[in-house]
A = this chain, B = another copy of it.
Amino acid sequence: MSPASASSPRLRALVLGSGGGGGVPQWNCGCRVCRLAWSGDERVKPRTQSSLAVSVDGANWLLLNASIDMRQQILATPALQPKGDGRHSPIAAVLLTNTDVDHAAGLLSLRERQPFTIWGTQAILDTIGANRIFDVVGRAIVPRHAVKLGEAFEPLPGLTLEVFPVPGKVPLWLEENEVKTDQIGEGTVGVAVEAGGRTLLYAPGCARVTDDLKMRIAAAHALFFDGTLFADDEMIVNGLGDKTGRRMGHMPLSGPGGTLEELAACAPARRILIHINNSNPILIEGSPEEARVKAAGWDIAFDGMEVVP
């Protein structure tokens, strides 16, 4: 048994990647945050792309999303490294909350005939299934299980999950003509993870807070929530693109209808922003924007952060 598995059987979450699409710094970006990151300024922590690992026994782990930085994340996380002298992995299951590259492409790193299970809505599995490159993770060894919205399932012993719809949009790579940015269905989901009476909620992409979502958030002990952008027009103002946050399927933190305002009354005391885009000034330690989200009770996820709900 690993040292970790000897600790008490309690729900734990490890942040593997806290950045949004592209990570921090982003490969082709010279924005304010990225320039600080490229220069090694200690005010900006480098961040890989969005993924969480959860476990109850410390020996078997469920990944919530598999970012394209997966290999690097495993190298940085002893709990996820193989034990013994053959082929082995503590990664026992992967759940996908959507099919964005930063959430799904990491499956391509989990090849080499290692048994585990993949979980997602039928729509998410169909979208992945239409791309044969994912067959590199052989279906005979790594079965794909469809889960229904609102129905509990147990991908690992002692870990009960439920996925629920969150307003979102199709992934960038399936966009065509008019894009609906506020769709509710099986394409973008949040997930509630429960073990031993403690509940963790994870919703790394959310275009709008529904009443259903508010009720679920109010019932959780810890919340990891979409922290992509601080301001809805942040990409445009910084000359990084022509889309608002809402057009990208992400509600902003600030402003009318933003996360700080919308979740002020219902978010649990342990509330953590994740999937934070490189353009977001909360990534600069000591910035007024960081101070503002902290004053509102939010923590800012970083790679390697451990949370016990």
Give the interface of A toward B (CB within 8 A): 21-23, 25-32, 34-35, 38, 46, 48, 68-72, 74-75, 81-89, 91, 101, 105, 108-114, 130-136, 171-174, 239-241
Contacts and interface: CB of A to CB of B under 8 A. Distances in A.
A244 to B, nearest CB: 15
B27 A173 contact: no
A173 to B, nearest CB: 4
A295 to B, nearest CB: 29
B86 A239 contact: yes
Contacts of A25: 75
A59 to B, nearest CB: 15
B71 A71 contact: no
A71 B74 contact: no
Contacts of A69: 71-72
A113 B241 contact: yes
11 contacts: A22-B112, A27-B70, A27-B71, A29-B87, A30-B87, A68-B68, A68-B109, A71-B72, A87-B240, A130-B132, A136-B172
A35 B85 contact: yes
A173 B134 CA distance: 7
A182 to B, nearest CB: 21
B173 A82 contact: no
A241 B136 CA distance: 15
A101 B108 contact: yes
B30 A101 contact: no
